[in-house]
Amino acid sequence: MTSRDFSTPSRRTALKAATAAAAIPLVAAPLARAADAGPAFLHGVASGDPLPDGVLLWTRVTPTPDAVPGSGKGSDVKVTWEVAEDAAFNRVVTSGSTVAKAATDHTVKADVRGLRPASDYHFRFTADGVVSAVGRTRTTPGLEAAAPGVRFGVVSCANWESGYFSAYRHLAARGDLDAVLHLGDYIYEYRNGEYPAAEYTVRAHEPKHEIVSLADYRTRHGNYKTDTDLQALHARHPVIAIWDDHEFANDAWSGGAENHTPGDEGDWAARREAAKQAYFEWMPVRPATEGTVYRRIRYGTLADLHLLDLRSFRSEQSSIGNGDVDDPDRTLTGRAQLDWLKQGLAKSEARWKLVGTSVMISPVAFGSVPAHLLGPIGELLGLPKGGLAINVDQWDGYTDDRRELLAHLTDHAIKDTVFLTGDIHMAWANDVPVKAATYPLSDSAATEFVVTSVTSDNLDDILHVAPGSLSPVAVAAIKAANRHVKWLDMDAHGYGVLDVTAERTQMDYFAVSDKADPGASSAWSRSYRTLTGTQRVERVEQPVG
């Protein structure tokens, strides 16, 4: 059994990268296979939602060449799975079997139990004598264990047409992660050449049209999981995922979406359920309360990870300037989920309360941002072209939910709450003020680390200028108007690495060199941490790993 080494990774990381890549075969197009070919594992293997004694395993079987994702074709196939202490499977600890069916798009899940806490395992699948790639996974510490530390990769917003998933490859290369936290927008729903425009598209996704049906969503998920960097990530680390809007449609809410036209694209409820079904088929995620993704994963007494669903229950986004953003009858979380979160935070005995939220909780005012930059920034933040100092798709558009949650933290003296966020294709390090207008004279209730996108367009992509050409002006103006914002990067693409110990939680931000380059390199950008008991972020001069 392997215990994770918390020391800083060395140059051996490059060797680990080669090992991770070697575990994933090159992906061939299903139709290129021989007509009489047997089952194949063309979409890799994955694990997720780890527990002290178990983990959820995933794969997809292609029983015949024509049984492509979303086709409904192909017969049922018996699939066996094995879990071992070693990659050679000399020490198998458990095994079992299930059936890959067309009714579930030939995806397979095995909820394995009986494993040891805080331990590495290897797993694989077999169908008709064909063996899948080997995956590696890791269980969480025992519920009452005093874990010395936990380390997560953190990612969001991976648009296939915007670039290559090099960020995933670099995370797959690391041997020091307990899991990877995906904060939403794992797939995008748009038609080919819509986002980004066709002239800026790096590679075309499938299907070419906007996805609206169950077959469409299945096809798009299957397309994404042919990416070798994404396969490497899933084969190397358990993934803990939540959804955001693009798993459904842009700016989704409980009754519709900005990118949904009922007359042309059918009933929203049917589209939403199709998207959810495909998501749970294709992702190593256990459906939670009411078939959503809000749930809790514990890492011993060190950290509770509270994961939110901010699309299923929210009210429609307000129009800006009419005061609806403060209406207590409007909600981002829904009553049941907000009560669940408040109760979980109050009862948590863990040192750190980590909250995975797909949209930013920190308030943002624009101050004196120049007019030529306000439009593109508004596009990233979900604002209309005119732009006002409010972001109606994020917590800024549902201020009563935020007020209630932050009041709960302060009234109950709940310390060491850290929000982990994606969505807006920029990297931020924020204090979360109780009253932004009087900060820093007033209190900070929590801290927030926001990771940039894996590939989805940010400021320089929207403006089609060199990175850093215009963003310093916008960054300075936003920071001047928002004193709780300690750092903001509007240009980079990449990922974060969150390191948690009893003394502090630190986010190391990494940027890839060029999202249009499949071999892009990765480099450390900045690091920020929050010390226990402070509710403030501070800059750190070097990464943990």
Beta-carbon count within 10 A of 416 CB: 22
- CA dihedral (311, 152, 306, 490) in degrees, to 10, reads -40
521 within a domain of the structure (yes/no): no
User: Are residues 317 and 257 part of one domain?
Assistant: no
Q: What is the pLDDT of residue 445?
A: 98
Query: Within this chain, do residues 259 and 275 fall inside the same structural domain, yes or no?
Result: yes
Q: Please give the mean pLDDT across all residues of the chain.
A: 90
Let me know whether 271 and 310 are in one domain. Answer: no
- Whose CA is closest to 475, among 488, 465, 457? 488
Q: Per the domain annotation, does 1 fall within a domain?
A: yes
Of 232, 259, 282, the residue that ends a domain is 282
Q: How many domains does the chain have?
A: 2
pLDDT the model gives residue 320: 66
What CATH number should be reported for the domain holding residue 15? 2.60.40.380
pLDDT band at 360 (very low <50, low <70, confident <90, very high): very high
237 pLDDT above the threshold of 90: yes
pLDDT for position 19: 38
Confidence band (pLDDT; 50, 70, 90) for 477? confident
Burial class (CB in 10 A: 0-12, 13-18, 19+), 170: buried
Task: Using the predicted structure, report yes or no on whether residue 284 has a pLDDT greater than 50.
Answer: yes
Alpha helices in 122-212 (DSSP H): 166-172
Quick one: 464 exposed, middle or buried, by C-beta within 10 A (0-12, 13-18, 19+)? exposed
Same domain, 357 and 407: yes
Q: Are residues 35 and 104 in the same domain?
A: yes
Domain contains 15: yes
What is the mean predicted confidence (pLDDT) over 50-69?
98
Q: Which of 408, 298, 306, 417 is nearest to 352 (CA)?
A: 417
Question: 3-state DSSP call for residue 480?
Answer: helix
Q: Residue 13's pLDDT is what? A: 34
Residues 68 and 88 placed together within one structural domain of the fold: yes
> Do 76 and 22 lie in a common domain?
yes
Residue 399 within a domain = yes
In a domain, 536, yes or no: no
Per-residue pLDDT at 425: 95
The mean-pLDDT minimum among 57-71, 77-91, 153-167, 317-331 falls in 317-331
Sign of CA dihedral 64, 68, 74, 77: positive
- The residue out of 282, 313, 343 marking a domain boundary is 282
- Over range 10-24, report the average pLDDT: 36
| Full residue range of the structural domain in which residue 308 is found | 286-493
Tell me if 179 is assigned to some domain. yes
Confidence of residue 457 (pLDDT cuts 50, 70, 90): very high
List the single range of 24-38, 40-54, 151-165, 445-459 with lowest mean pLDDT.
24-38
Same domain, 278 and 290: no
**Confidence band (pLDDT; 50, 70, 90) for 28?**
very low
**253 and 106, same structural domain?**
yes
Give the mean model confidence (pLDDT) for residues 418-432: 97
